[in-house]
Every structure is written in structure tokens, then in C-alpha cells.
Amino acid sequence: MTSRNTSGGTADGEASDPETGWRLTRTQVLRDSMGVAVATGAYGISFGAIALAGGLNLWQTMALSLLMFTGASQFGLVAVLAGGGVPLAGAATAIMLGARNALYGLRLSEILRVGGLRRVLTAQLVIDESTAMSIGRDTDRAARLGFYATGVGVFVLWNIGTLIGAVGASWLSDPRALGLDAAAPAAFLALLAPRLRGRERWALALVAASVAVLAVPLVPVGVPVLLAGLVGAIAGLIPRRTASGRAERTAPTDPEPDPRPESR
């Protein structure tokens, strides 16, 4: 029979179990966050090179990664500029693509619970990766760790990757000779492809692409992309029939769902 410490040993043992569980959870979260950060940072190398090939200089490229810090918007902006579009059209495209981060912020606000200047700084880290690593955790403590570990890790490595890619491209006499000017649209399509799941999304993508192609000879460069985005926005407002016969909108009407697993 194993002896027990009746002077508090049991309480200490009970206290140590949660702490041991947290250490294991923390190790797993940090490991996963680092893996995501490294992979995203490597992708930043391509952005740095593509931005240089698209006509931006080193400082402009780094400013995008430091201040905008949202991959899809950055690639979208560079794609428009590389195609000869005006900066206003590129900025509008970037804003349209980055609007989803506002919805992420709504979902994360109850988990992170920050205010003041810290809230402003935290908002800079609201991206796809940090949101995915936060929402769905068993506890808010783990969710916050996943958010900050991933957000800070991606921010640092994405900017390092951008610098490496931009400096490497600046050493080339003509980055376009390697086809880097065509890489921006290709990267943009690579970001879009994983989201095309189901016939409805494919049909919507084809309609939006058709509108953009038809608008090319009629409007300034960069505007066709905005028109394609407008098609998607309108489609999201059109009610569709569900299996139960009720009409529902394609886009969710509740912008602030509860991200905790027990609510699913």
C-alpha cells in the first residue's frame, strides 16, 4: 500500500495535475504555432520577390509586410500594380480581401479581452493563421497562447522572408526575365483555389471571372477585379433555398458566432 502525505500531499498532487496538463498543452500549441510560422515565413520569400518584380522598391515592399501584414491583400495589391493598374484600384482590392479580418476580430474579442493600446497592437496580429490557431482550443488560456504565439511568429518570419525575397530579387538585373511578373496572379489563384469547394462556389467563381474578363477592354486596369468582388458580394446577399425549403442567405447573417467548441 502506497503511503500518502496527509499534511497536504493530496492537495499538492491535485494542484500539480492541472499544471502538468498545461505544460503539455503549451508545448503542443507552441510547436504547432512555430510550424505554421515557419511555413508562412517561407511563403513571404515569394512575396518579396514578386513585389520587386511588380515594380515596388525594397522599402515599399517591406512597408506592406510590416504595416498591412495580410498575405492575400498584399498579393492582391501587387497583382493589380504589376498588371498596370492604378494604386487606388490596388488599394481597393487589398481592402476588399482584408475585410474578413474584421470578422475574425469580432470572434476573437471575447477570447483575448484586451483594451487600450494593447488592443490596437493585438489587432495587427489578426490574420488567418493566428485565428485558426486560437479558435477551437479547449480553454481561453490555450486560445490566447495560440493566437499570440502564431501571430508574433508569423509577423517576424513573414517580414524576414519578405526581406530575403526582396533583396534576392534586387540582385537580378531583370526579375521579369525569370517570369516573376507572372507569379503575382499565380499566387493569387493559389490563395483562391482551396476555397473553391462545392458547385455553388465554382459557379460563382466562373461568373465573377467572366464579368472581370468582359470588363477588361471597357474599364481601367484593376477595376475588373473589383467588379468580380462585387459579384461575390451581391451573391452573398441573395437568399438560397435549403433542404428544408426555407430561404437563407449564402453568407452567414451572424457576424459574431461563439468560437468555443462546446457551442458547436
Which tens digits make up the pLDDT trace of 216-226? 778 776 677 77
Which of 22-36, 101-115, 141-155, 223-237 has the weakest average pLDDT?
Answer: 223-237
Three-state SS letters, 149-178: HHHHHHHHHHHHHHHHHHHHHHCCCCHHHH
Does a structural domain hold residue 4? no
Does a structural domain hold residue 88? yes
Does a structural domain hold residue 250? no
Does a structural domain hold residue 41? yes
Report pLDDT for 9: 44
Q: Say if strands 247-249 and 239-241 run parallel, antiparallel, or are unpaired.
A: antiparallel
Report pLDDT for 181: 53
Does a structural domain hold residue 1? no
Q: Is 51 exposed, middle or buried (0-12, 13-18, 19+ CB in 10 A)?
A: buried
Of 109 and 238, which is predicted with more confidence?
109
Q: Which pTM does this prediction carry?
A: 0.69
Of 256 and 84, which is predicted with more confidence?
84
Does a structural domain hold residue 244? no
Do residues 128 and 103 touch, judged by C-beta distance below 8 A? no
Report pLDDT for 240: 64
Does a structural domain hold residue 116? yes
Domain coverage including residue 160: 22-197
Does a structural domain hold residue 123? yes
Is the pLDDT confidence value at 117 over 50? yes
When pLDDT is averaged across residues 194-209 and rounded to a whole number, the result is 80
Q: How many domains does the chain have?
A: 1
